[in-house]
Amino acid sequence: MEFPAFPYEPYPIQIDFMRALYRYLDKGGVSMLESPTGTGKTLSIICSSLQWLIDKRQQEAKCESEKKSDQNGSCESDGEPDWMKNFCVDKGDKPVVKYNLRENGSKLGLNKYVKRDLNSASVYTLGKSVEEVMRKAEDLVKSEEALENDDFLLDEYESDDELGIDGGRPKRKAGDPSISSSSDEEEDKDVIDDEGGRDGLKIYFCSRTHSQLSQFIKELKKTNFASEIRVVCLGSRKNFCINEEVLKLGSSTRINEKCLDLMKNTASKTTKVKNSDYADKKHKTKASCGCPMLRKQKLQKQFRKEVSEQGVMDIEDLVILGRNIGACPYYGSRSMVPTADLVVLPYQSLLSKSTRESLGLSLRNNIIIIDEAHNLADSLISMYDAKVTSLQLERVQSRLEGYFSRFCNLLGPGNRRYVQTLLILTRAFLKALHEEETFVSPFQDRDNNSSTPAKVADSTFSINDFLFSINIDNINLVKLLRYMKESNIIHKVSGYGDKVKSSTDNSTVSNFKDFVDDESTISGFQALVNMLHSLTNNDCDGRMIVSKIKRGCIGQTGYIKYVMLTGEKIFSEIADQAHAVVLAGGTLQPIEETRERLFPKLSFNQLQFFSCSHIIPPESILPISISHGPSGHSFDFSFNSRSLPIMVEELGLLLCNIVTVVPEGIVVFFSSFDYEALVYRSWKESGILERIMKKKHIFREPRKNTDIEGVLQEYKETIDKLSNKNLKENSHPCNGAMLLAVVGGKISEGINFSDGMGRCIVMVGLPYPNPSDIELIERIKHIEGLGESNVSKSLGVSASHICNSGDGQIGFHILRNCKRRGKEYYENLCMKAVNQSIGRAIRHIDDYAAILLVDSRYATNSSTSNAHHPTNKLPQWIKDRLVSTTSNYGEVHRLLHQFFKFNKNRGHK
C-alpha cells in the first residue's frame, strides 16, 4: 500500500493512518480512526481513500475486461435484430416501446411524462405507433390546465371505509397523469436536466460545517487526485443561491420555501412553452415564472461543462461560477452527483433520510467517511427532533378553518373527514399549550398533594402518554400523513389563505387572522407534519416535551417538541447499505459509548479502531493543572461557586500574571456566554481588565456567528502587528492579544489557532452541561437504562414528570442516582467539549503552546486518580505530558517562563 499522491514526505504516523484506512475500506464494515488535530488527518484521509477507490476501479475494470474476453471467445453473436432490442416486457407481460419514446419525447419536452409512466402498459402498448403515444402524452399536458376556482379545490378522495385497510386514495380526474405530491423536495426533480449518468462506486465525505468542507477541498487540491477524479460539493440553498431576490429573505427556511415555489412554477410552465407548436401561443408569456437562474437549460449544461473542465471546486468557487454564467449552482451541483467519484457534503445532508433521498444519494455498496465524528450520536438523533410552536399551530388552524368554511360544501366525504381531523389535532395541541386550559398530566408525581401543575412548568411524556393526555390516541396518524402527502392539502390550503389575505386589503375576513412574524403557513404545516411523523415512532424511541404558554409574558410562545433518544435504527440503515462507514476525528474516545449508542449489535472485537499519537515533540506542549491562584485561593468553578467574587477575582489575578510571560495570543474558554459576560463585567469594575490590557489587547467572542470572522481577523492582525520582529524590543507595552471565548461556541469547534494565535489555551473550570436542560436529562435517563427496564423508578422519578423551567434540582437528583452509563455520558459531554477547545492550538509539527486547566478538580495525585477523573479523559498525547499537580502559582509561572524561553530559542536555531 503506497500513497504516491501524498504531496509531502509523510510522517510515520500518517503512513500508519493511511494503511489502516486502506485496510478498513478493503474489509468493509464500521471503523473508527483517531488522529489528533494538527497531524494532517484530512490529507491522510484523502490520499488513502482515493487511492483505494482508484485501485478498486482498476481491479473491477480488469475483471470486466477478462470476462468480456472470455465471452467473446466462447460465444457468437446471437444475431438478435435491432427492432427486438427496442422492446421489453412490463409487469403485465405486455411489450412496450422504450427507446424511441425517450428519444422522441425529449424533442417535445415530455420527459416528465415519459419517465413517470415508463412502465405503464395503458400508455405505451405494442399496438400503438410512436405518434399515437406522443399524441396521448400531449393530451395529458393540456388536461392539466384548470379553471382558477379549481386551483385550490382538493381532488376527490375516497374514504377509508370504501377502500378498507389500504386507506384512502385520490381519484384521478380524466386525463390526470399522476397524483400530485406535497413533498417539497420531490417537486423540483422534473426541472433538473439529468444527463443520465450511471451511479458508480462513490465516496461520500461528510463534515460538520461548510468551512470544514472548504478546508477539505483545499487539501484535495494539493494532491494529484484533483485532476484524476470527478468531485462535486453539495451544500444548502442558502449557501448556494445566487438569486438576489431570494437571498434577501434571510433565513434558510424562507429561502428554501421560495426556491421550491419558483421551481413549481418552472415545472408547470416550461412544458407549455416547449409544446408551443401544439398549444395556444399565448402560453409563451408565462415563461417568466420561475427562477431566472434555471430558465435556460443551455446555461445549466455550460455550468456542468465548466465545472468538469476546471476540476475540483468548493462552494465559493461554484457560487462565483454560477454568478458569472447565470446558472443555479445549487441544482447544477446536484445534477452532477450521478457521475461523481467523490461527493463532499455536510453530514446532515447524508444522515437525514429525507434529505438524502431528495438529493438522490445512493449509499448501496459505497463508502461513507464522516469526519469530526466526536459528537455523531447526539448530532444524528438531533436531526430527527421535531418542534411545533403555538404560533405555528394558530396559523395552521386559522388557515384550515378559513379553507374549510369556503370549500366545505364542495369537498367529498373523504376530504371533509381529513380536514376535520387536522382541525381536531391543531385544537388539541393548542389546548395542551395554553396555561388557562385544563391539561393535567395523569402521570404527575402522586406524592405531590397539589392537583394542579406548576404555573411555569415544562412537562415530559412518552409518546403514548402524550396521545392519551390530549385524547388523540384514536386517530390513525399513518393514514393522515399519507393523505397530506397525496392530496397536496398543504399547498392548497396555504395558497388559498395567501390569496385571500392579499386580496382583502386589510378588510375583515371571517375565519382568518393576521400574523406579523416572518414565517409562512407552509413552514407551520411542515412543522406539524414533522411532529405527526415523530408521533408514529415507537414509544421508547423518544420523549415529548410540552412547554406551555406563560401568562403575562409578552411575546412568549409555547411549543411541543419531540426529542429522539436513540440513533441505533437510523445509523444501522446507513451502515447496512454502505460497503464501509468510517468515523474519523481528533478525539473519539470513549469509543465504547459510541458503539453502544449507534451500533450495539456490533461487538467490540468486530469494531475496527485505529489511534495514533501526535507528530509534535514532547517539548512543544505544556499542559498544566492549576489548582491555586496567585493569592493562594483554591480554584473551584463548579456551578454553585464560580460566580463568587473571590473566584472571579482570583481568575483575573491569574491572567494578570500569565500575560507577562506568555507571548502573542492567549485564548480563554468559559463555560457559557452568560458566565463570560459576568466575569468581564466584574473585571471591568475592579480594574483587573485595565491591568490585563496593559499587556494584551482583549477581544470577545460575539454571540452572532456572522460577526466572528471580523473579530478573528482583527485578533490575528493585532498579534501579527505587535509580534513583528522588526519592532524594537519594549517599543510597545503590549505583546499580543487575548481572546475570551465560549466552550461549545463557534470558536471552540471549527477555528484553528495555529502559531501565534494560540500560544496559550486557558480552560476555566469543567464545562458540564446545564442539568436543568430537560432534553439532556431525558437522554441521560435513556442512556442509563440502555437494555434495562424500570429505569425511571431506579432514578427516583415518575415515568412522566413536570419540572419548573430553569430549575436543575430534578436534573441533579437524577445525576446523583445514576450509577453507570448516564453519569459517564454526562462526564463525557464535558470532557469532549474540553478536548475540542484545547485542541485548537497545535496545528503542525513546528507549532507549540501551553494548555492551562484551571480548576482544582483537574489536579491529580495517587489518592484521586481513577477512571472517572477528568484528566483520564484527555487525549493521550496531552495526558502523557500533563503536569498533574502544582504546589503554588509560583511553580506554574516558572514552568511557563522556561517553556516559552526554550521554544523561542529553538525557533532561532
- What is the rounded average pLDDT for all residues in the chain? 79
Residues 471 and 555 occupy one common structural domain: yes
Segment 791-818 mean pLDDT: 64
Residues 538 and 652 reside in one and the same domain: no
Q: Let me know if residue 696 belongs to a domain.
A: yes
In the three-class reduction of DSSP (H, G, I as helix; E, B as strand; rest coil), residue 904 is classed as helix
Find the mean pLDDT for residues 720-741. 74
pLDDT band at 553 (very low <50, low <70, confident <90, very high): low
Mean pLDDT value across residues 133-146? 50
Asked if the structure places residue 743 within a domain, the reply is yes
What is the mean pLDDT of the segment spanning 797-816? 64
> What pLDDT does residue 167 have?
45
Q: Is residue 746 part of a domain?
A: yes
Q: Pick from 535, 550, 565: which residue ends a domain?
A: 565
488: in domain = yes
CA distances from 494 to 151, 153, 595, 888 (A): 12, 12, 44, 68
pTM of the model: 0.80
Q: Which residue has the higher pLDDT, 769 or 512?
A: 769
Enclosing domain of residue 530:
384-435+456-500+522-565
Q: Does residue 239 surpass a pLDDT of 80? A: yes
Is residue 49 over pLDDT 90? yes
pLDDT in tens, 447-463: 444 444 434 467 889 99
Distance CA 217, CA 310 (A): 13
pLDDT at 217 over 90: yes
What pLDDT sits at residue 887?
83
CATH number, domain with residue 693: 3.40.50.300
Are 625 and 556 in the same domain? no
309 in a structural domain: no
- State yes or no: cis peptide before 590, omega within 30 of 0: yes
Q: Cα 826 from chain centroid?
A: 22
Together in a domain, 696 and 765: yes
Query: What pLDDT does 477 receive?
Result: 94
Higher pLDDT, 239 or 274: 239
- The answer to whether position 331 is within a domain reads no
pLDDT value at residue 811: 78
* pLDDT tens per residue, range 335-349: 999 999 999 999 889
All three cell numbers of 186, joined, read: 420531490
pLDDT in tens, 166-191: 444 554 343 333 333 334 444 444 44
Residue 124 has pLDDT above 50, yes or no: no
Per-residue pLDDT, averaged over 681-696, amounts to 94
Mean of pLDDT values over 143-172:
51
In the chain, the number of structural domains is 2
- Residues 22, 1: contact at Cβ < 8 Å? yes
Report pLDDT for 768. Answer: 93
Same domain, 655 and 534: no
pLDDT of 582 strictly over 90: yes
Which residues, including other chains, have CB under 8 Å from residue 886's CB and lie 6 or more apart? Answer: 624, 625, 626, 627, 628, 859, 892, 895
Residues 482 and 549 in one domain: yes
Question: Are 681 and 762 in the same domain?
Answer: yes
Site of grid cell 463525557: 828
Of the listed ranges 352-361, 625-634, 761-770, the one predicted with least confidence? 352-361
| Cα distances (angstroms) measured from residue 747 to each of 373, 502, 743, 836 | 18, 44, 8, 10
The pLDDT of 581-608, averaged and rounded, is 86
Average pLDDT estimate for 13-24? 95
| Weakest mean pLDDT among 41-45, 123-127, 546-550, 654-658 | 123-127
Q: Give the Cβ contact number of residue 529 at 10 Å.
A: 19
Q: Are residues 763 and 628 in the same domain?
A: yes
pLDDT band at 658; cut points 50, 70, 90: very high
More confidently predicted of 73 and 901: 901
56 phi and psi angles, rounded to 5 deg: -65, -40
CB 488 within 8 A of CB 182: yes
Q: Do 407 and 549 sit in the same domain of this protein?
A: yes
Is the pLDDT at 743 greater than 70? The verdict is: yes
Q: Which residues touch 8 (CB under 8 Å, ≥6 apart)? A: none
- Long-range CB pairs of 714-723, under 8 A, 24+ apart, other chains included: 715/665, 715/739, 715/757, 716/757, 719/664, 719/665, 719/756, 719/757, 720/756, 722/664, 722/697, 723/663, 723/664, 723/756
- Closest Cα to residue 107, out of 265, 343, 278? 278
On whether both 628 and 488 belong to a single domain, the answer is no
Residues 862 and 764 in one domain: yes
pLDDT at residue 436, rounded to an integer? 52
In a domain, 144, yes or no: no
Tens digit of each residue's pLDDT (9 = 90 or more) over 278-325:
444 434 444 444 788 888 888 989 999 999 888 899 999 999 999 999
Spatial contact of 395 and 354, defined as CB atoms under 8 Å apart:
no
Compute the residue count for the chain. Answer: 909
d(CA 862, CA 633): 22
**826 compared with 88, residue with greater pLDDT:** 826
Answer yes or no: is pLDDT of 472 > 90: yes
Q: How high is the pLDDT of residue 882?
A: 93
Cα separation, 589 vs 322, whole angstroms: 42
Q: CA-CA distance, 742 to 671, in Å (whole number)?
A: 6
Residue 3 belongs to a domain: no
CA 119 to CA 102: how far, in whole Å? 12
SS3 label, residue 488? coil
Answer with the residue of higher pLDDT: 197 or 636: 636
Contacts of 744 (CB under 8 A, 6+ apart): 767, 833
Q: Which of 124-133, 299-308, 563-572 has the lowest mean pLDDT?
A: 124-133
**Which carries the bigger pLDDT value, residue 369 or residue 145?**
369
Over residues 587-591, mean pLDDT:
83
pLDDT of residue 73: 64
Judge whether 167 and 160 are in contact, CB under 8 Å. Answer: yes
Locate 681 and state its grid cell.
Answer: 463585567
Q: What is the pLDDT of residue 354?
A: 86
* Cβ(370)–Cβ(376) below 8 Å: yes
Same-domain pairing of 537 and 635? no
Strand, helix or coil for residue 336: coil
The answer to whether residues 306 and 325 touch, using CB atoms and an 8 Å cutoff, is yes
Q: What pLDDT shows up at residue 803?
A: 52
Q: Are 48 and 584 in contact (CB under 8 A)?
A: no
pLDDT value at residue 267: 47
Q: 605 pairs with which residues across the strands?
A: none
Percentage with pLDDT > 70 across the chain: 74
Per mean pLDDT, which range of 31-35, 729-733, 769-773 is the poorest? Answer: 729-733
